[in-house]
Amino acid sequence: MGLEATNVPLSAKDFDRERVGLCAGCGCGCGYIIYLKDNKIVDLYGNPSDPRGMGSLCTKGITYIQELPGNSLRLKGIFLREGEGFREIDHSIAISILRDKLSVGKTAFLLGRQAGLEEYLLARSLSDELFVDAPVVDFLPSTVNFTEWKDARFILSIDAEPVFSEVMSTRWIVDAIEKGAYLFCLSSRYETLCAKAKQRLVLKPDLMVNFLYQVISPEKAEGDAESVKRWFFLLRGSLLLIGSHLLLSPFRGALLYALSQISRKFSVNYSLVGDLMPFPAKELREFFNRLEEFDNLVVIGNLFRYLSDEHLRLMEDKFIVSFQTFPNVTAHHSNLVFGATLFHEREFINYRHGFGFLLYSPQTLRPEEGIYNPYHVLSEVYRKEVNLYSFLQEYGIELEELKGKEEGVRINLPKVESLKYEPKDHPKSELYLYTDSGLVEDMGHWNPWTHDMERFQRAYINPRTARDLGLKDSVSINERDIHISITKNVAEGVIFISSEYEEYQPFDPGVRVGNLHKDPCNRYETLR
């Protein structure tokens, strides 16, 4: 790798091995140095020579790298369902079962953010039925590296919350503001960036889209929209940030049209913030619509939290194999479960993010016995291997170049302004349900000290909305009751609920997102 450990160890603790890696807990890919004694982590630091994290690691990175590997709740072994329970089986029996089951019928692959690029390529080589729990795009999701955000003089943020998705990227927004940048935030909840903004509007999503349509209109806009249009025109190289979750909503078409027009008219830079799939795949919505077609499912990550109870009933006759870190809702509804590697327990290429580049991280920790690399298992079952070299070359990337560049390598994709999007109508409603990541992601709720940062699932509602709906203690969403928290930090006409909870988590379980939405793929949905 390009990044090296420091000459003098950062740790004063007793260790016998130090390794350098890049975190894949989010898209930032911050560098870290891990110190080990008998393959146990004794210390962890951000790498001072890393150009992105600059020697820092966020709470998410620390949790994933240091806390989760030895978590007492972690799944270790292979488990076969028998009746209402499971029994542990050995590797050879599991491979035999998989070869028998997956050779018959139609198989769908459901890949979460924990899936490596090898699993993606293997699934793609076996089937067209490959689904991901992120928006899929066919354009460059960011025209600039987030470390270049600091150079923007004007920044318009549309429902972007990097603190909850790509944590360390936020510092580069702060740097821009300290250099005099003007930050204008549009969002449906008061986000971290709002605290730094010179102007902020907390609005329903339809009003945010209306605002963008005024900005791209050839006619003179009203008020703040006309000011944004003028800033975009005068301050070339301005920056537009957009929360990627908006692409999983009824506002997708309108948003992409507005983004393409703004990029074309004003030559702004843009970055999509959050989980995103930059390679060909299908979104979960299509899987939900065709669920009955499939006989088998191969699942990596906790994707069943997007399924409703009705979906789970429809899958009772299917064979499901899943690779999981914890005994979550997906594990409990699988027929065969493997304890799965974390990103730093294998070689890993970080690709699921909106920044438009790939990052390579070597294996820095040997997994304990009973922890399995999903690619190795599936490759053995299907007697097939994939070629990363040829795939990367399709996008103008050499694997050896990727391994040697700590800043990553940009994916060769067209910019959004080179694609044609038609003007789109979007829903207009008095009340929206909004579900998205909170401070703690779903795996963080399996770790006590990170779970305590956001213990309870709540429905956050503006005082006026609560009064209009006659709500005091709880709200019923799709026949599920959620305790409410009344706050002015949420727009009028919006109910926000964190999507990172589920019924099987060990501490203060909540309602999984699949039981809240009529369309579980949506992050925004009209309620009335």
pLDDT of 394 over the 80 cut: yes
Q: What percentage of residues in the chain have a pLDDT greater than 90?
A: 85
Provide the mean pLDDT of the chain. 94
Check if the beta carbon of residue 103 is closer than 8 Å to that of residue 246: no
**In 3D, which of 298, 318, 442, 443 has the Cα closest to residue 375?**
298
Residue 443 phi, psi (nearest 5): -70, -25
pLDDT(1) > 60 = no
Domains of the chain: 17-67 (2.20.25.90), 78-135+294-410 (3.40.50.740), 146-273 (3.40.228.10), 432-526 (2.40.40.20)
Q: Residues 212, 255: contact at Cβ < 8 Å?
A: yes
Between the alpha carbon of residue 435 and those of residues 215, 419, 447, 460, 525, the distances in Å are: 27, 29, 22, 10, 9
Q: Look at the block and give the residue holding tokens 């030895």.
A: 70
Per-residue model confidence as pLDDT tens digits over 472-507: 999 999 999 999 999 999 999 999 999 999 999 999
**Which residues are 348's β-sheet partners?**
361
What kind and span of H or E run contains 214?
helix 205-216
Structure tokens at 206: 């339809």
Question: Mean of the pLDDT values across residues 337-347?
Answer: 97
Q: Which tokens hold the place of 124?
A: 């793609």
434-466: per-residue pLDDT in tens? Answer: 999 988 999 999 999 999 999 999 999 999 999
Q: How far apart are CA 365 and CA 342, in angstroms?
A: 9
Distance CA 310, CA 519 (A): 12
- The tokens describing 297, both together, are 């499912």
Phi, psi of 442 (to 5 degrees): -60, -40
**The two structure tokens encoding residue 501:** 């909870």
Is residue 340 within 8 A of residue 348, CB to CB? The reply is no
Q: What is the pLDDT of residues 259-268, one digit of tens each?
A: 999 999 999 9
pLDDT tens-place string over residues 156-201:
999 999 999 899 999 999 999 999 999 999 999 998 899 999 999 9
**pLDDT at residue 407 in the model:** 83
How would residue 3 be classed by pLDDT, with cut points 50, 70 and 90? low
Q: What's the pTM value of the predicted model, to 2 decimals? A: 0.94
Contact 325, 443 (CB under 8 A): yes
Residue 52, pLDDT > 90, answer no
- Above 90 in pLDDT, residue 339? yes
CA distance 360 to 350: 6
Return the axis-axis angle of helices 223-234 and 252-266, rounded to nearest 10°. Answer: 40
Q: Alpha-carbon dihedral of residues 94, 96, 98, 104, nearest 10 degrees?
A: -160
d(CA 461, CA 281): 35
